[in-house]
Amino acid sequence: MINMSKVKILSKGSTNIPWQDKPEGFEGLVWRHTNNPIIGWNPTPSTARVYNSAVVPYEGEFIGIFRADHKDGKARIHVGRSKDGLKWDIEDKEIQWKDEKGNDYQPDYSYDPRVVKIEDTYYIVWCTDFSGAALGLGMTKDFKNFVRLENPFIPFNRNGVLFPRKIHGNYALLSRPSDSGHTPFGDVFLSESPDLVFWGKHRKVMTKGAAGWWQGVKIGAGAVPIETSEGWLMLYHGVSTTCNGFVYSMGAAILDIDNPSKVLYRCKDYILTPEESYETTGFVPNVAFPCATLHDETTGRIAIYYGAADTYLAVAYTNVEELVEYVKNNSVLASGDEKEWR
Amino acid sequence: MINMSKVKILSKGSTNIPWQDKPEGFEGLVWRHTNNPIIGWNPTPSTARVYNSAVVPYEGEFIGIFRADHKDGKARIHVGRSKDGLKWDIEDKEIQWKDEKGNDYQPDYSYDPRVVKIEDTYYIVWCTDFSGAALGLGMTKDFKNFVRLENPFIPFNRNGVLFPRKIHGNYALLSRPSDSGHTPFGDVFLSESPDLVFWGKHRKVMTKGAAGWWQGVKIGAGAVPIETSEGWLMLYHGVSTTCNGFVYSMGAAILDIDNPSKVLYRCKDYILTPEESYETTGFVPNVAFPCATLHDETTGRIAIYYGAADTYLAVAYTNVEELVEYVKNNSVLASGDEKEWR
């Protein structure tokens, strides 16, 4: 299949990503993998639940960095390997971090990792313990040796997503400032760094709310943004509140390619919300939480990895032209989204 | 009077600071100015209350950067001038900020400023609106032209205090991460910057609690730390909670001179708590909130400026040897205070 789309993916991907065609008669934009969830309860001896996790192409196959809640209830991150992106071999032991001097530098807990390749290095951002939930940052070239860098920010922050390339010479990081609890608020900010040590030039990117109640409580960047001919395609999560807790849905936005603090378009409605039993029931009911995508720039296909009910790992599919055109044609911004807000 | 103290102040101060001797028979460490408060209700036509404010020596006299809550209820910061540090002439109009390109860059609100001279420039840190309470940072050389720099952090943070010199080549900033409301938690962190634009190498400094309930809810850096022969002398606020709200008291700690993320000593008991009517009643009862000191390194005298009841500006006095020896001899650290916590 040749991509005749007007919307081109510019980020480098891989041609062997998981894929299922859209089911006949399906009217949505994003369709679930038929054998979801791809990872169920107790995937390894130590771990109870593997869910909000990240994947990247690696040496013709795939590497995953998995959020694994152990049977002691504490979250840690683990490496896994897969030939097809669907059947995963996950290490039972968590990632062992060293600092830049080679000393042990192990976090007390780690969760919701995102992974991105920038130039020849893979960077992992996760939520770590810094006497309060904060972003952890580390790097690897081989997924065997892991070097932990300085924490980008002081607490509190749980959702950090790096862009896949420098912008105007600086690394760029999306994140959502939060509080010390379950945080009934949250917007997306952008920060820059010349060296991954010192961060600044912070900008507000996107505000919760906009048109829909599904994103009325808080929003946070999901997968690493995909560079397209229309701007940065950012999958994100939006949270609604109910009498029985939060509901996490999936949305999509398009950010200005040269200044991603400006939102160009943002979907009015969610593109996926918890409906299936593996999304609506589990350790935390009603969560669909995207952390990664794989894409094939030659076809425009995108596979979305999302945590389901803080219990399962699930996959869904879309294609770039359909998604981008939909977001452009069904966009409602929140006040200030369109500007560079410093 | 020649300072025969074993404890030397190394930071440059001035010899004409406000002073009253300790009242005969007074048993505390910190004694109040007899004509407190030095600034009362409605000090200028636009402003209702001037309180948590900063002062610095300037050209043989004194400059103040005042938190002024206007009669519309919103906080802004104003310049004031004084020959004696007690009687102040405060401008009725708030500081007008430009950005580095000369464009207007006015915050929506501004409060709790701290001011420090580093080399030949005066830097102001305050709590600003960045779609959420965050630290604002600006500079001036003449207190007439004010240039606003990049915000150091994303929200939420209300208490930023710069050290008066670079440490190992970097600017150093104490702050207290918070949430979007009245924040029932809070510890002190340290961040470094090579250029006042990008910030990193964050460390946890000091944790709420320790021995006393008076600092059990949250703590935050108060005045610019004073360099002494025993370490950095840091006045801070500690917050207790009651059925009728928070109570803000004043404490003191001594930080390692080369690595101020390490706490050497920290007072077990508060050194000043709201007792006087101007501290226990007002817009917000029961607040004593230090934001600045003046000191005379030749005598060891220290004048402390503190906001009282979010309504008044008050002054209290101490001397460095008595205070430092007291803190050293009556110190209880919280878990982790003593280490470099990254």
Size of chain A in residues: 342
Q: Is B89 helix (H, G, I), strand (E, B) or coil?
A: strand
Question: Does the structure show a pLDDT above 60 at B4?
Answer: no
pLDDT tens for B244-268 read 999 999 999 999 999 999 999 999 9
Q: Which two tokens stand for residue A129?
A: 């313990």
The Cα angle at residue A190 between residues A187 and A193, in degrees rounded to 5: 150
Helix (H) or strand (E) holding B277: helix B277-280
Closest residue of chain A to B200, computed from CA coordinates: A198
Does the beta carbon of A197 lie under 8 angstroms from any beta carbon of chain B?
Answer: yes
Which residues 216-275 of chain A have a CB within 8 Å of chain B?
none
Residues 6 or more apart whose CB falls under 8 angstroms from that of B242 comprise none
Q: Are A48 and A39 in contact (CB under 8 A)?
A: no
- Please report the DSSP string for A160-173 in residue order: EEE-SS-BTTBEEE
The dihedrals phi and psi of A257, each to the nearest 5 degrees, come to: -65, -35
**Minimal CA separation from A185 to chain B, in Å:** 8
pLDDT at residue A148, rounded to an integer: 98
What is the percentage of chain B residues whose pLDDT exceeds 90? 96
What pLDDT score was predicted for residue A211?
79
pLDDT of residue B2: 52
* Tens digit of each residue's pLDDT (9 = 90 or more) over B152-176: 999 999 999 999 999 999 999 999 9
In the prediction, which pLDDT does B1 show?
47
Residue A88 confidence (pLDDT): 98
pLDDT in tens, B23-81: 999 999 999 999 999 999 999 999 999 999 999 999 999 999 999 999 999 999 999 99
Could you tell me if residue A34 is left (phi over 0), alpha (psi between -120 and 50 degrees) or otherwise beta? alpha
Residues of A in contact with B136 (CB under 8 A): none
Q: For a pLDDT cut of 70, what percent of chain B falls above it? A: 99
Mean pLDDT of chain B: 97
Distance from CA of B152 to the nearest CA of A (A): 6
A293 neighbors A57 (Cβ within 8 angstroms): no
Say if A339 is an interface residue toward chain B (CB within 8 Å).
Answer: no
Largest separation between any pair of C-alpha atoms in chain A: 57
Q: Is B131 an interface residue toward A (CB < 8 Å)?
A: yes
The pLDDT tens digits along chain A (342 residues) read 455 568 999 999 999 999 999 999 999 999 999 999 999 999 999 999 999 999 999 999 999 999 999 999 999 999 999 999 999 999 999 999 999 999 999 999 999 999 999 999 999 999 999 999 999 999 999 999 999 999 999 999 999 999 999 999 999 999 999 998 899 999 999 999 999 999 999 999 999 998 789 999 999 999 999 999 999 999 999 999 999 999 999 999 999 999 999 999 999 999 999 999 999 999 999 999 999 999 999 999 999 999 999 999 999 999 999 999 999 999 999 999 999 999
- Is the model's pTM score more than 0.90? yes
Chain B contact for A199 (CB, 8 A cutoff): yes
Confidence of residue B85 (pLDDT cuts 50, 70, 90): very high
